[in-house]
Amino acid sequence: MTTTQAAPSVPITTAPAPVPAGRPALPLTTRLAALTRSGLVQTVLIVAAVAWLVPTVGLLVSSLRPKQVAATGGWWTALTEPAQLTLQNYTALLGGGDVPEALWNTVLISVPATLLTVALAAGAGYAFAWMRFPGRDAVFLGVVGLLVVPVQVGLIPVAKLEGAVGLFGTIPGVVLFHVGYGLPFAVFLMRNHFLEIPAELLEAARMDGCGEWRIFRTLALPLAAPAVASLCIFQFLWVWNDMLVALIFAGNDSQPLTVYLQSQMRQFGSNMDILAPGAFLSLLVPVGVFLCFQRFFIQGAMAGSVK
Amino acid sequence: MSLRSPRSGRASGGALRRHRGLALLFVLPALLLLGALVVYPIGYSVARSLFDASGHRFVGLDNYGTAFTDHATLTAVRNNAIWVAVAPALVTAVGLVFAVLTEKIRWATAFKLLVFMPMAISFLAAGIIFRTVYDADPHRGALNAAAVAVHDTFNDRSTYPGAHPRPGGGLDRAQGGDITAPTSTRVVLLPLVGVQPGALPATARTAQEPAGGDGVSGTVFLDFVPGGGGHPGRLDAGKKGLPGVTVQLRDGGRTVDTTTTAADGTFRFGAAPTATTSVVMPAANFAAPYRGVDWLGPAFITPAIIGAYIWIWAGFAMVIIAGGLANLPRETIEAARIDGAGEWQIFRRITVPQLAPVLGVVFITMVINVMKIFDLVYIIAPGPVQQDAGVLALRLYLVSFGGGNDQGLGSALSVLLLLLVVPVMLLNVRRFRGSRA
């Protein structure tokens, strides 16, 4: 909320503000000053761009250097000796053992957690927007209140709860937790988007004798498709990137990639041949999603940053 | 997104009654999960925080007392305060600067994509990235490698770190590390030890006798014959010269001449010696090399992690602020420009005040976010300094699951975390009601 209201739908690719045409000719000193300033701006931004790029490039290059080579110097030495780079860390990592399984667990956790959250939130959001039931507004106010509850509050109690029903340490247990803490924002977002639909449209459908379920499925849901897409992307990345919840709720055979990599941190330095390619694999999917669905991603991230 | 009042409910009574059952079907699954996984845990945590680690003994507010007296937890509270005080303001400021500056360049889209991308990356991956960036060893950590490179560009690099004269060998080592041969003769031998033969530069040749003749000449050499033999302090066969050593001829406190040794360790000054001259090898020749900053040590760990946090979130701030900037009326700025206002004045007096609501949103979002910071600290801080870097959420995890095994204290910490966000919660609810009135 703190963000959602102010979140304008600006994709990154907005054009810079146009310079008004037909500006009167400026005196030379002013033009010189402007030139210096623009040089300064360019320099500052180039330095910033390098600072933002280098860490990730470093990870990529590190992930391509075999263990023996990595011990001989920093990753930047590979820039002058590209012969250092091989795919052997990746083939070793993906060839078997824990990483493919952890990667698969990540998928098994993130996909259901996303679909379930979005499905439940779409239904509830529609009901909060267009159906009448006792206490509707008060209950929704409660959902608004839950928006900022930190996941940390749920860790101990839900672990107990899931332990009691035998879900603790399983993939469904992790999924369930993510659904619970994804719901407040998801319901909030869906309800607000359903409200954007003109009442007359729904009224007309009702007049035509459409049932509420059919209206929801064939009219409301398609109209709210952009919101559904944003929500899917946001929730998917949230769960894919999660470490804390899985650290507690996943068992040894259900741990996702983040938890597996975390368990390798103890020998940091000596096992960069696992950590660097592992981390790079784990960020490939989010970055790919980001690049493909930029617009939705930014809307989702902006609206969801309250979490 | 609007928070307008619902416009539903105009359906006829019969339809409504039919709705009711269906409506329950729509909302109930979500509400049941919310109740069991979010609402119930709040109550459970409050209750559990009043009991001890075993969960059987009622201890009142003792756990909260512990939270503010226990050293590790107190450190966490203090660090959380530092995070909240520093990180949101920095992220907002960097985002603002980027948003304003990118309006003036052609490659704004590329820049924004680049800076926004870390948002998509998990804290774990970002943590691993920055753990390597901050590595103290300049042969592994990029930041220290850069620091060392910059340092060595502006300062002479010492050629023989740790080299020193043989004790009792006739050379003096001053307090500051200068090595002096107190001599007024024309020929001077400067034998040193403490250099690994393998660490000699490839250019080093067998040491030669000083050339003699006018002025002062001498040889700096490694007083060691590989394989043994030779006499200490003498120029025996097999001893290598030390090239590249800076040597000064001083008279009293004044430096008369400066030179550098050749491949065979020899050097020569034109000036003739007097009773007060001496040959000095300045300490800079032997100083330990600059190794950069210990970013992951106890002193710098929190600022270092905040740096990684800015790397992740500045793009988010930038994109939202740029969105606000695009919606600002251009007329005021143009008018000010025509009135002769400078860019800085426009920025401070017009842009920033007009952007205040957007800046506020970014700032508050970051505050909520920073209060719960966990992954980044857990990953970047190496085990031994984890306590120095500790924050509430990390402490909560360690206390309840990471070996502490005290879910009473853990629950108290989670209630504290919840209390920290209650003002925002109330603000949200009030705003929402206000928008419906």
Measure Cα distances from B433 to B360, B436, B437 in Å: 20, 5, 6
**Residue A20 pLDDT > 70:** no
Regarding whether B274 and B218 lie in a shared domain, the answer is yes
Regarding whether B345 and B246 lie in a shared domain, the answer is no
Measure Cα distances from B9 to A131, B13, B256 in Å: 7, 9, 98
Is A14 within a domain?
A: no
Regarding whether A289 and A162 lie in a shared domain, the answer is yes
Regarding whether A235 and A153 lie in a shared domain, the answer is yes
Could you tell me the pLDDT band of residue B194, with boundaries at 50, 70 and 90?
confident
B316: nearest CB among A58, A203, A301: A301
Measured between CA atoms, how close is A67 to chain B, in angstroms? 13
**pLDDT attached to residue B3:** 39
Number of domains in chain A: 2
**Residue B437 pLDDT > 70:** no
Tell me, yes or no, if B71 comes closer than 8 A to chain A by beta carbon: no
pLDDT average, residue stretch B277-305: 86
**pLDDT attached to residue B307:** 96
Quote the percentage of chain A above a pLDDT of 70.
Answer: 88
* Residue A121, helix vs strand vs coil: helix
Tell me, yes or no, if A176 comes closer than 8 A to chain B by beta carbon: yes
Q: Mean of the per-residue pLDDT values for chain A? A: 86
Tell me, yes or no, if A24 comes closer than 8 A to chain B by beta carbon: no
Higher pLDDT, A181 or B217: A181
Is B268 within a domain?
A: yes
pTM reported for the whole predicted model: 0.81
Higher pLDDT, B172 or A287: A287
Measure Cα distances from B297 to A304, B303, B385, B388 in Å: 34, 11, 7, 9
State how beta strands B216-222 and B187-192 pair: parallel
Is A74 within a domain?
A: yes
Tell me, yes or no, if B124 comes closer than 8 A to chain A by beta carbon: yes
Domain edge (last residue) among B250, B285, B320: B285
Question: Look-up: residue for tokens 């103290």?
Answer: B136
Regarding whether B393 and B336 lie in a shared domain, the answer is yes
Q: In terms of residue numbers, what domain contains B348? A: 70-143+295-405
Residues of A in contact with B27 (CB under 8 A): 123-124, 127-128, 133, 139
**pLDDT attached to residue B229:** 76
Residue of A80, A185, A283 to mutate, interface with B, max B Cβ within 10 Å:
A283
Residues of B in contact with A181 (CB under 8 A): 37-38
Tell me, yes or no, if B373 comes closer than 8 A to chain A by beta carbon: no
The sign of the torsion formed by the CA atoms of B347, B350, B351, B357 equals positive
Is A1 within a domain?
A: no
Q: Do B3 and A154 touch (CB under 8 A)?
A: no
Tell me, yes or no, if A201 comes closer than 8 A to chain B by beta carbon: no
In angstroms, the CA A49 to CA A43 distance is: 10
**CATH value at residue B312:** 1.10.3720.10
**pLDDT attached to residue B24:** 87
Measured between CA atoms, how close is B168 to chain A, in angstroms? 39
Tell me, yes or no, if B432 comes closer than 8 A to chain A by beta carbon: yes
Cα Rg of chain B, angstroms: 35
Measured between CA atoms, how close is B75 to chain A, in angstroms? 19
Q: Do B122 and A240 touch (CB under 8 A)?
A: yes
A157: nearest CB among B15, B41, B372: B41
Measured between CA atoms, how close is B272 to chain A, in angstroms? 48
Is A19 within a domain?
A: no
Regarding whether A284 and A167 lie in a shared domain, the answer is yes
Which residues between 16 and 35 in chain B have a beta carbon less than 8 angstroms from any beta carbon of chain A?
A: 16, 18-20, 22-27, 29-31, 33-34
Q: Do A192 and B3 touch (CB under 8 A)?
A: yes
Tell me, yes or no, if B359 comes closer than 8 A to chain A by beta carbon: no
Regarding whether B302 and B278 lie in a shared domain, the answer is no
Regarding whether A136 and A278 lie in a shared domain, the answer is yes
Is A117 within a domain?
A: yes
Measure Cα distances from B284 to B54, B158, B254, B287 in Å: 61, 6, 17, 5
**Residue B280 pLDDT > 70:** yes
Measure Cα distances from B212 to B207, B209, B215, B268 in Å: 15, 8, 8, 9
Q: Do A195 and B133 touch (CB under 8 A)?
A: no
**Beta carbons within 10 angstroms of residue B66's beta carbon:** 18
Higher pLDDT, B198 or B385: B385
pLDDT average, residue stretch B37-41: 97
Regarding whether B306 and B231 lie in a shared domain, the answer is no
Regarding whether A148 and A37 lie in a shared domain, the answer is no
**pLDDT attached to residue B281:** 87
Q: What is the pLDDT of residues A41-61, one digit of tens each?
A: 899 999 999 999 999 999 999
Give the residue among B283, B255, B282 at the shortest CA–CA distance from B269.
Answer: B255
B429: nearest CB among A8, A141, A152: A141
Regarding whether B259 and B233 lie in a shared domain, the answer is yes
pLDDT average, residue stretch A258-270: 86
Regarding whether A196 and A144 lie in a shared domain, the answer is yes
Which residues between 224 and 283 in chain A have a beta carbon less than 8 angstroms from any beta carbon of chain B?
A: 237, 240-244, 247-248, 258, 261-262, 265-266, 268-269, 272, 275-276, 279-280, 282-283
Regarding whether B391 and B311 lie in a shared domain, the answer is yes
Is B180 within a domain?
A: yes
Domain edge (last residue) among A64, A88, A112: A88
CB pairs under 8 A between A and B: 353
End-to-end Cα spacing for chain A? 10
Regarding whether B130 and B75 lie in a shared domain, the answer is yes
**pLDDT attached to residue A103:** 95
List CB contacts of B220: < 8 A, sequence separation 6 or more. B190, B192, B241, B242, B245, B247, B261, B265, B267, B281
For chain B, give the longest Cα–Cα distance: 121
In angstroms, the CA A218 to CA A69 distance is: 59
Is A274 within a domain?
A: yes
Q: Do B142 and A75 touch (CB under 8 A)?
A: yes
Measured between CA atoms, how close is A95 to chain B, in angstroms? 21
Regarding whether A276 and A208 lie in a shared domain, the answer is yes
**Residue A115 pLDDT > 80:** yes
Domain edge (last residue) among A37, A53, A88: A88
Which residues between 127 and 146 in chain B have a beta carbon less than 8 angstroms from any beta carbon of chain A?
A: 128-133, 135, 138-142, 145
Q: What value, to the nearest 5°, has the Cα angle with vertex B25 and ends A210 and A157?
A: 155
In angstroms, the CA B76 to CA B61 distance is: 19
Is A9 within a domain?
A: no
Regarding whether B307 and B267 lie in a shared domain, the answer is no
A58: nearest CB among B103, B123, B132: B132
Residue A54 contacts residue B142 (beta carbons within 8 Å): yes
List CB contacts of B418: < 8 A, sequence separation 6 or more. A149, A150, A153, B42, B45
pLDDT average, residue stretch B253-264: 86
A266's tokens = 């103890």
Residue B240's φ and ψ, nearest 5 degrees, are -95, 145
Regarding whether B340 and B265 lie in a shared domain, the answer is no
Q: Do A132 and B20 touch (CB under 8 A)?
A: yes
Is A227 within a domain?
A: yes
Q: In terms of residue numbers, what domain contains A136? A: 92-304
Regarding whether A158 and A64 lie in a shared domain, the answer is no
Q: Do B379 and A265 touch (CB under 8 A)?
A: yes
Higher pLDDT, A64 or B171: A64
**pLDDT attached to residue A302:** 61
Q: What is the pLDDT of residues B344-374, one digit of tens each?
A: 888 888 889 999 989 998 998 899 999 999 9
Tell me, yes or no, if A168 comes closer than 8 A to chain B by beta carbon: no
Q: Do B30 and A120 touch (CB under 8 A)?
A: yes
Is B148 within a domain?
A: no
Question: Look-up: residue for tokens 């042969």?
Answer: B139
Amino acid letter at B399? V
**Beta carbons within 10 angstroms of residue B433's beta carbon:** 13
**Residue A95 pLDDT > 50:** yes
For chain A, give the longest Cα–Cα distance: 79
Measured between CA atoms, how close is B241 to chain A, in angstroms? 28
Could you tell me the pLDDT band of residue B380, with boundaries at 50, 70 and 90?
very high
Regarding whether B314 and B346 lie in a shared domain, the answer is yes
Q: What is the pLDDT of residues A174-233, one digit of tens each?
A: 999 999 999 999 999 999 999 988 989 988 988 888 888 889 999 999 999 988 998 998
In angstroms, the CA A225 to CA A221 distance is: 6
Residues of B in contact with A266 (CB under 8 A): 383
B37: nearest CB among A53, A58, A177: A177
Name the region of B162 (left: φ>0; alpha: ψ -120 to 50; beta: rest).
left
Residues of A in contact with B96 (CB under 8 A): none
Regarding whether A119 and A252 lie in a shared domain, the answer is yes
Which residues between 280 and 339 in chain B have a beta carbon less than 8 angstroms from any beta carbon of chain A?
A: 311, 316, 319-320, 322-324, 326-327, 330, 334
**Residue A72 pLDDT > 60:** yes
Q: Do A74 and B139 touch (CB under 8 A)?
A: yes
Tell me, yes or no, if B92 comes closer than 8 A to chain A by beta carbon: no
In angstroms, the CA B346 to CA B332 distance is: 9
**Residue B13 pLDDT > 50:** no
Nearest-10 Cα torsion for A280, A282, A288, A291: -80
Could you tell me the pLDDT band of residue B156, with boundaries at 50, 70 and 90?
low
A66's tokens = 């075999």
Strand order in the sheet with B216-222: B187-192, B216-222, B266-269
Regarding whether A236 and A187 lie in a shared domain, the answer is yes
Is B325 within a domain?
A: yes
Lowest mean per-residue pLDDT among A142-151, A186-195, B182-191, B301-310:
B182-191
Q: What is the pLDDT of residues B105-123, one digit of tens each?
A: 889 989 999 999 998 899 9
Could you tell me the pLDDT band of residue B169, with boundaries at 50, 70 and 90?
confident
Is B155 within a domain?
A: no
Task: Estimate to the nearest angstrom the gap between the alpha carbon of A203 and the chain centroid.
Answer: 36
Regarding whether B309 and B274 lie in a shared domain, the answer is no
What residue in A sits closest to B325 (Cα-Cα)? A17
Regarding whether A169 and A237 lie in a shared domain, the answer is yes
Higher pLDDT, B274 or A128: A128
Regarding whether A165 and A65 lie in a shared domain, the answer is no
**CATH value at residue A117:** 1.10.3720.10
A183: nearest CB among B33, B104, B129: B33
Number of domains in chain B: 2
Q: Kindly indicate whether the ipTM for this predicted assembly is greater than 0.90, answering yes or no.
A: no
Give the highest mean pLDDT range of A127-131, B40-44, B387-391: B40-44
Residue B188: in which H helix or E strand, if any? strand B187-192
Higher pLDDT, B214 or B257: B257
Q: Do B128 and A261 touch (CB under 8 A)?
A: yes
